[in-house]
Structure 1
Amino acid sequence: MPSLRILIPFLGHVWLATCIVPAAVTVDFDEMSGYTNTGPNGSYFDGYGQAANSAGFTSQGFQFNTGQYGPGWSYSNVNDPTTPGFTNQFAAVTGSGFGGSGNYAVASGYLDVAPNAFNPVPFNPADVNDLRYLPSITLPVGMNAASVLVTNATYAALSMQNGDSFAKKFGGPGGDDPDYLLLSVFGIDDSNQSLNTSVEFYLADFRFDDNSLDYIVDQWTTLDLSPLAGASSLHFNLSSSDVGAFGMNTPGYFAIDNLTTASAVPEPSSLALLGITTLGAVHFQRRRKRNAR
């Protein structure tokens, strides 16, 4: 990591402060290899093929959870935006990673936000155990998430576009149903406390009065994660307007690429200002003592 050296004046002396500043990182998954399964549409890493308590995989120092029959991540290079159904669960609707690059990551899994017959206790975003059950990313120490590119998985996008044997066509027969698929991102800090904020992004939105504005995201789109500054881990959940007796019907899949970060260490100007402020405070205290004599 690069170091930052700052000269700070203090009571007629100069202090040399050295800070380790983590370099900004972009996680694009393109260094990943060793796919464990080969599907009919290409090679992919199947997170659900790992042990139930699998530690997952690491890219650029970021830890991605996986788990058998539970929420988690897979990294993929599947290029298939047209095949519907579960057999194409590891494809992004864009057909490739951002800019035509090779790898990206696909998340699967969610916790229902309303009680149902399958899960009578709904998702609680303040419960860190609920958050850690979701597709999760652990950040390297000293890093804040800045942004990430998101899009729909082909499986979910085509289900929303056309409907399938489990889920409805978004908009309904007449196109007027106010359907949506919402991605929510939460954070847990170093004290193992959930942050009191979240970031939301509609992967599909049919709630407009003008049906021509309805959309299903089919391009890589930037999601600002800066409101989650201070999070040591990120946790992703999905919710949909299409729910049944056993919870969400819409396939719980989406894709990400190019997760970017910023250092959690203060900027040089902030550190210099801290030194000047400290100097001013001490000087003021000395003047008060002199005046009191």
Structure 2
Amino acid sequence: MNQLKQLGQMKKLVWFWAALLCVSLWNCSDDENPASEEQKEEAVISFEGELSEPNSSFIATEGEVDGFYQRTSFSDPQALVAFSHYFSGQSFGGGFTYTNGTDVTTSGYTNLSAITGAGRDGSVYLTSNANEYTPARITNLQVGKYRFKGAWVTNTTYDYLAMKDGNDGGIGLVRKFGVGDWFILTAVGHASDDSEIGRVDFYLADFRDGNSMILDTWEWFDWSELADASYITFEMSSSDIGDFGMNTPSYFCMDDITLQEN
């Protein structure tokens, strides 16, 4: 009987020490990973509901004269980021605008629609014309609270048809993409003193190494390498080069820009 009693006490002691070890490991885990208790807050940029007419786009009414265009900027409804914007009269010139276009068949620069015919989550999304004359820039207006995380991107109908069919709306500069061709969107991060802190590439079309892809869906563009940038500018490059530079239209679409809490 004494032996059975001692055995029972030993079992209880083993369970006690096992439970104590589990509690210790739990506390150490929490101490080493304080961020694990809660995820960082994220803010997603949206212009949903900002356009009252179907197949319309935002065009500013006032700006500073800059070459052939007038230049200004606009921010999202939450005032988290600002976008460069170039326009002439009632026409979009470059930088960024937001649109609810659905036209996936009409070629040419007047069609600002995404090749998807809609935004990633709704009807309104951003369209950009990014070149040296109309730089595309996104500025973080709340660097003390948020940093850049990334965005969803796709082709416009304009550049998609130019690459797929060699149809640029009658201008006649582009050629149909084939083996070895590529079209790249580059995000360039800048510090507050305008110095470059990094750059990341995203292929909007890729015909290298046996591929034959022209993007026609929304895909995630990761900006984690540029997270601490004060602003991001965008550059475009293509294998279709002519006497006056890149022939491929310098357009792309963007939606659900995502910021993450510091």
TM-score, normalised via structure 2 length: 0.73
Which of 217, 220, 223 is the matching residue for 1:225?
A: 223
Q: Does the C-alpha gap of structure 1 residues 47 and 254 become closer, same or farther in structure 2, counting only changes over 3 Å?
A: farther
Q: Aligned partners of 1:231 and 1:77: how far apart in 2?
A: 29
Q: CA deviation at 1:23?
A: 5.0
- Paired residues in the alignment total 207
Contact 2:185-2:237 within 8 A present in 1 as well:
yes
Partner of 1:25: 43
**2:223 pairs with 1:201:** no
Partner of 2:98: 75
Structure 1 unaligned residues grouped into runs of 5+: 1-21, 36-40, 112-129, 265-293
Q: CA deviation at 1:148?
A: 0.2
**2:125 pairs with 1:104:** yes
Partner of 2:181: 179
- Residue correspondence of structure 1 range 101-180 to structure 2 within 5 A: 101-111=122-132, 134-141=135-142, 142=144, 143-164=146-167, 165-171=172-178, 176=179, 178-180=180-182
Contact 2:51-2:100 within 8 A present in 1 as well:
no
TM-score, normalised via structure 1 length: 0.65
The one-letter code sitting in structure 2 at the alignment partner of 1:102 is: S
Give structure 1 regions of 4+ aligned residues with deviation exceeding 4 angstroms.
47-51
Q: Does the C-alpha gap of structure 1 residues 72 and 87 become closer, same or farther in structure 2, counting only changes over 3 Å?
A: same
Partner of 2:116: 94
Q: CA deviation at 1:253?
A: 0.3
Q: Does the C-alpha gap of structure 1 residues 48 and 223 become closer, same or farther in structure 2, counting only changes over 3 Å?
A: farther
- Indicate the SS of the match to 1:64: strand
Partner of 2:28: none
Partner of 1:290: none
Q: CA deviation at 1:28?
A: 2.1
Q: Does the C-alpha gap of structure 1 residues 65 and 34 become closer, same or farther in structure 2, counting only changes over 3 Å?
A: farther
Partner of 2:74: 57
The one-letter code sitting in structure 2 at the alignment partner of 1:104 is: Y
Identity over aligned pairs, percent: 34
The one-letter code sitting in structure 2 at the alignment partner of 1:170 is: F
The one-letter code sitting in structure 1 at the alignment partner of 2:241 is: V
Q: CA deviation at 1:24?
A: 2.5
When the two chains are superposed, the root-mean-square deviation of aligned CA atoms in Å is: 2.3
Q: Aligned partners of 2:254 and 2:61: how far apart in 1?
A: 18
- Indicate the SS of the match to 1:44: coil
Larger gyration radius, structure 1 or structure 2: 2
Structure 2 unaligned residues grouped into runs of 5+: 1-39
